[in-house]
Structure 1
Amino acid sequence: MEQLIAIIEKGQPFFNAIARNKYLKAIRDGFISVIPIIIFSSIFCLVASVPNIWGFYWPDDINNALWKCYNYSMGILAIACAATTAKHFADAQNRDLPKNNQINFISCMCAAIIGFLLLSSDTIATDAASGFNTTYLGSKGLLTAFIAAFVTGIIYKFFIKRNITVKMPEQVPPNISQTFKDIIPFSVCITVFWVFDIVFRAAFGFCFAQGVIQVFQPLFTAADGYIGLAVIYGAMSLFWFVGVHGPSIVEPTIAAALVANMTDNLAAFQAGQHASAVLTQGAQYFVVCMGGTGATLVLVFMFCFLAKSQEMRAVGKAAIVPVCFAVNEPLLFAAPIVLNPVFFVPFVFAPIANIWILKIFIDFLGMNGFMYTLPWTVPGPIGTIMGLGFQPLAFVMLALILVVDFALY
């Protein structure tokens, strides 16, 4: 065990470098910025759908009003994410530029939104009205949104760094001067996206966002399997075990799948089909990370009521409230769990056991996967039951997970 920890410690600089990667950080921070949209829209989703479990259905006008708010928030998630990711990526690019020659992140956000729309939406025109297809403007377009944000930031940096801009006399007010400074990089961005969209559609017959989904679908499918889930959530715990914030590294790489699978589950449930996706945001919050990374909810209660050491009891009492709300740093560093060989096996494998139990219930017992998003600070057992729509099997699964975590720890 000590040799294993020594090997892991040697890799810590590499893990830290990954955590500081500006692309992953931009995805993480951009995604965090749109979480209020996800949570807010899910309130309407819960109100509209959960009563159906008990056979109650809202009148059509109320039901349509509830779903309208959901569709006009969650339905444009990718547009918002293109803007927020572009903003955070521009901030990262600005750290490499002089203070007096920075990228205008507002202009960058606008360019990313337009570029994303060019890559992901088709025009719809009839005799009565015209508009554009919204299929990929929500969670299905997140990967394209990230790509649009990064391409925009790279183009802006290229032109701003080399001062390839429209320069105005010093007498011109700064806000007017900035407008002209943005013209060239903004125009080049939109032209690049526009030309690429024309070429891509001519070659393949569909939009780029659809192509991205087709390319990454096998990866999403593999990630939703037993091995894929074990690798993803085992790595998340392993990073934290060596003191590197695991979710900051792992979550940006699966963010698009987490949200897209939640949306697919909800759509399947509404269509009377089995919501079979396991790799979802709700599963990560309330099954894998029940009580924080490492599934430490059971452990903190064990410290409080079963530990023979007075020191461990004190740690448990101090950490029990934050851990109940999925903030387990006090426990990780006070026990300590980080780099403690005694806790290596349960800390890494309890989350894997939890997600496998969820998958078994979904695959073999017919339980629907997570369909509703709640704030990650909702206590694990409550979030599990609500996120799964109060299904009877969810109570059985929750009890089994708590027993398995107790046995592992």
Structure 2
Amino acid sequence: MSMNQTLNEKVVPAVMKFVNLKALQALKDGVLYTMPLNIIGSLFLLVAAFPSVAYTNFMSSIFGADWQTPLYKVQNGTMGLMGLVCVISIAYIYAKNEGCEPLSASIMSLAVFFITTKNTINFTPKDTKDVFVVGGIPANWLGSQGMISGILIALAVGYIYSWFMKKDIRIKMPEGVPSGVADAFSALIPAAVTFIIADIIYILFKYAFNDSTLVEMIYKVIQTPLQGISDTPGGIFVIAFSIPFLWFFGVHGANVVSGVVISVLQANTADNAALQIAGKLTLANGAHIVTSQFFDNFINMAGSGETLGLVICMLLFAKSSQYKQLSRLGIAPNLFNINEPILFGIPIVMNPIMAIPFIITPICTAMLLYAAIASGLLAPMGGVMPPWTLPPVLSGLLIGGVPYALAQLIFLVLGAVIYFPFFKKADGMAYADELAAEQGNGVEA
């Protein structure tokens, strides 16, 4: 069996089966709803916690000592709700993809999250012992610490609700009843079953696990280890490899991989944001190396495979008309991290020659950046999350000032160096084909 046959008959079907999993689709599309919260919230954080003593003193002299409080309020009200948004959005997308009325699934998922979350808060008044405040939800579980719990609850509720709807196990209203009323009654049976299960889980954890909750257990047993794995060289290698590897088969690798890992990376970013606010953003204080910015603005810098280096090679050194024209068309979108014209124009998809630098380049960037932060050469990234479409160097300036802008510039040059020999080979082949075509046309004439 040839390599192409093996890829088409064995590898591609397995990849597509994974990509099309219902849970993965709901996770990938649902987490996107947190993007506005993260981007806008991080901009407020940038203004409030800009790393400059002179700037902080200047703002304090104008607006007073507590000038940052309103800015942190917005940051907490956006980035601090990521877990809660995932609870709502992922259940919504799951039910919608199943062809069911989705809002009911979202509401049920939200209710289950609150049922299985602790509703007491430790509060320490000055000069007194700890007291419990009943009737409140600890804010940390609504944000980064509740991300994985929110995702799992949303997927479970979305599945249960959709199963009942597809099996037609529901209360049916007569014709003529408004759709809103009919949908509400349709959700009664799955909601009752789901809430009973949630309450049993709450009772189990409260009395069998020393007043714990499902959300706390998931955080300890699943989320904390996942955040730890994502913050290792092995974890970042897998992430950096998987994106271009999937793209080789024509699958949007960044979308698929982000659907799997972005919740963990956003939690890492939120932890770093909290340390940044406290003025303790160091590895010694528990800061994470691998964050959402690491993923969006370095591994996927200028698009999957970091193809901007390839486009620069094409602009400067291409001999073939094909590559010259493609570089002119591709440079503008590539600067804004949109590189589909390059991926399908060269093409890189299903192209064994160009797949090598396409896979190697982001891996090199990831490992070098990891080493730079781990060694202290670069500070850990804070909570500022530039839009993924912001061009390289500019995004680096927002993330960490001049050092991160220079790092992006260095990685762009490195990418061009890696791509160059493979580009020369492909360009030479294209140029030879063009010459042959011109000569053939001349003979025929």
TM > 0.5: yes
The answer to whether the 8 Å contact 1:93/1:153 transfers is no
Q: How far apart, CA to CA, are the structure 2 residues paired with 1:33 and 1:338?
A: 29
Query: Which residue identity does 2:266 align to in structure 1?
Result: V
Aligned residue number for residue 213 of structure 1: 219
Trace 1:264-303 onto structure 2 (pairs within 5 A).
264-271=271-278, 272-274=280-282, 276-303=287-314
Residue identity matched to 1:29: D
Structure 1 match to 2:194: 189
CA change 1:366–1:198 in 2 (3 A) is: farther
Partner residue in 2 for 1:244: 251
Alpha-carbon distance in 2 for matches of 1:4, 1:24: 28
User: Greater Rg, structure 1 or structure 2?
Assistant: 2
Q: What is the alpha-carbon distance in structure 1 between the residues aligned to residue 299 and residue 188 of structure 2?
A: 47
Distance 1:147 1:402, change over 3 A: same
Q: How far apart in 2 are the matches of 1:53 and 1:250?
A: 38
Match of 1:115 among 112, 117, 123: 112
Specify whether residues 169 and 342 from structure 1 end up closer, same or farther in structure 2 by C-alpha distance, changes over 3 A only.
Answer: closer
Q: In 2, are the aligned partners of 1:285 and 1:380 still within 8 Å (CA)?
A: no
Give the conservation status (yes or no) of the 8 Å contact 1:201–1:208.
Answer: no
Cα displacement (A) at 1:85: 0.5
Task: Note the C-alpha offset of 1:308.
Answer: 2.3
Give 1:231's aligned residue.
Answer: 238
Relative distance call for 1:65 and 1:129 in structure 2 (3 A) is farther
| Corresponding residue for residue 399 of structure 1 | 409
| Match 1:380 to one of 377, 385, 392 | 392
Deviates more, 1:353-362 or 1:3-12: 3-12
* Letter of the structure 2 residue corresponding to residue 189 of structure 1: T
User: Distance in 1 between the 2:5 and 2:391 partners?
Assistant: 35
Q: Is the CA contact 2:296–2:388 (under 8 Å) kept in the aligned structure 1?
A: yes
The reply on whether 1:25 has 2:36 as its aligned counterpart is: no
What is the alpha-carbon distance in structure 2 between the residues aligned to residue 6 and residue 381 of structure 1?
A: 42
1:179-224: per-residue Cα shift (whole Å, max 9, x none)?
Answer: 2222221222222212212212322232222221222323332232
**In structure 2, how many angstroms separate the alpha carbons of the residues matched to 1:299 and 1:4?**
26
Using the alignment, how far apart are the partners of 2:2 and 2:55 within structure 1? 57
Where do residues 256-335 of structure 1 align in structure 2 (5 Å cutoff)?
256-271=263-278, 272-274=280-282, 276-335=287-346
CA apart distance, 1:3: 6.8
Q: 1-side partners of 2:4 and 2:364: how far apart?
A: 22
Q: Distance in 2 between the 1:310 and 1:300 partners?
A: 14
- AA aligned to 1:107 is S
Which amino acid is the alignment partner of residue 353 of structure 2? V
Query: What secondary structure does 2:170 align onto?
Result: coil
Aligned positions of 1:9-48 closer than 5 A: 9=8, 10-48=10-48
User: Residues 230 and 290 of structure 2 are in contact (CA less than 8 Å); yes or no, is this contact kept in structure 1?
Assistant: yes
1:285, distance to aligned residue in structure 2 (A): 1.3
The SS at the match of 2:121 is strand
Alignment map for 1:119-198 (pairs within 5 Å) = 119-124=116-121, 130-170=135-175, 172-198=177-203
Counterpart position of 2:441: none
SS at match of 2:241: helix
* Aligned equivalent of 2:352: 341
- 1:270-312 Cα shifts (integer Å, max 9, x gaps): 3324154232111111111111000111111111122222321
1:248 is displaced (CA, Å) by: 2.6
> Deviations 1:130-184 (Å, cap 9, x if unpaired)?
5221111012211111111112122212322333323333354443233222222
Aligned partners of 2:120 and 2:136 also within 8 Å: yes
Structure 2 gaps, min length 5:
123-130, 420-445
Q: Distance in 2 between matches of 1:15 and 1:353?
A: 24
Identical aligned pairs, as a percentage? Answer: 28
Q: Do the aligned residues in 1 keep the contact of 2:227 with 2:268 (CA within 8 Å)?
A: no
Q: 1:406 to 1:162 in 2, by over 3 A?
A: closer
Residues 243 and 338 of structure 1 are in contact (CA less than 8 Å); yes or no, is this contact kept in structure 2? yes
Distance change >3 Å, CA 252–CA 120, structure 1 → 2: farther
The DSSP-based 3-state class of the residue aligned with 1:151 is helix
Structure 1: where are the runs of 5+ without partners? Answer: 95-102
Determine helix, strand or coil for the equivalent of 2:91.
Answer: helix
User: In structure 2, what is the equivalent of residue 199 of structure 1?
Assistant: 204
Distance across 1 between alignment mates of 2:353 and 2:181: 62
Do the aligned residues in 2 keep the contact of 1:315 with 1:334 (CA within 8 Å)? Answer: yes
**Offset, 1:320:** 0.3
Aligned to 1:92: 97
Q: Distance in 2 between matches of 1:367 and 1:177?
A: 57
The count of aligned residue pairs is 398
SS at match of 1:131: coil
Calculate the TM-score normalised by the size of structure 2. 0.83
Q: Work out whether residues 5 and 339 of structure 1, in 8 Å CA contact, stay in contact via their aligned partners in 2.
A: no
Q: Verify the 8 A CA contact 1:77 1:137 in the aligned structure 2.
A: yes
Distance 1:394 1:5 in 2: 41
SS class of match (1:124): strand
Query: In structure 1, what is the Cα distance between the partners aligned to 2:118 and 2:330?
Result: 48
Instruction: Compute the displacement of 1:129 (Å).
Output: 8.1
Structure 1 match to 2:372:
361
Query: Is the Cα–Cα contact under 8 Å of residues 94 and 159 in structure 2 kept in the other structure?
Result: no
Distance, in Å, in 1 between the alignment partners of 2:176 and 2:353 is: 68
